[in-house]
Amino acid sequence: MFRHILVPTDFTEKSLRAMDIAAKMALNEGAKLSLLHVIETIESTDYEEFKDFYAKLRERAERKLDEMTARHGGEALSIHAEIIFGNRAREIIDFAQQHDVDLIVLSSHKIAKESPAQGWGTISYKVAILSHCPVMMVK
């Protein structure tokens, strides 16, 4: 059913759970699995101004992606990891469209019954609403 599954990650425990679920699904479906980490850039600034800062964030993200990939390294699973700079929600949506992703699996925050509108600004909510393909949110 799914040929390409995307897991956007922020390296939290919740995103590790999303990765584990997506890996099982990819194995069952024979699907390709992509891990994506988006490093949020500071709006209205020049990339060069923060070049060293972004380089350190990239190095850390590369290590974390390697660790996540190694969790499922012994399995017959095709995992592609990528790091992108920009607005997280927008970059996740763009990546999914450009790479023919047909399922996005990502972690989500619980929404409080008392104030459900506060959850509307989360990345997971934006991705779920704007995505061209199905989105599975893992709590």
The predicted-structure confidence for 36-84, as pLDDT tens digits, reads as follows 999 999 988 888 889 999 999 999 999 999 999 998 876 788 899 999 9
Evaluate if pTM is beyond 0.85: yes
d(CA 92, CA 127): 7
Q: State the Cα–Cα distance between residues 30 and 79, nearest whole angstrom.
A: 12
Q: Rounded to an integer, what distance in angstroms lies between the CA atom of residue 11 and that of residue 16?
A: 7
- C-alpha–C-alpha distance, residues 23 and 113, integer Å: 31
Separation CA 103–CA 29 (nearest Å)? 12
Strand, coil or helix: what is 114? coil
Helix (H) or strand (E) holding 63: helix 51-70
E-strand stretches of 48-95: 79-86
Could you tell me if residue 43 is left (phi over 0), alpha (psi between -120 and 50 degrees) or otherwise beta? beta
- pLDDT tens for residues 17-27? 999 999 999 99
Q: Which domains does the chain have, with CATH numbers?
A: 4-138 (3.40.50.620)
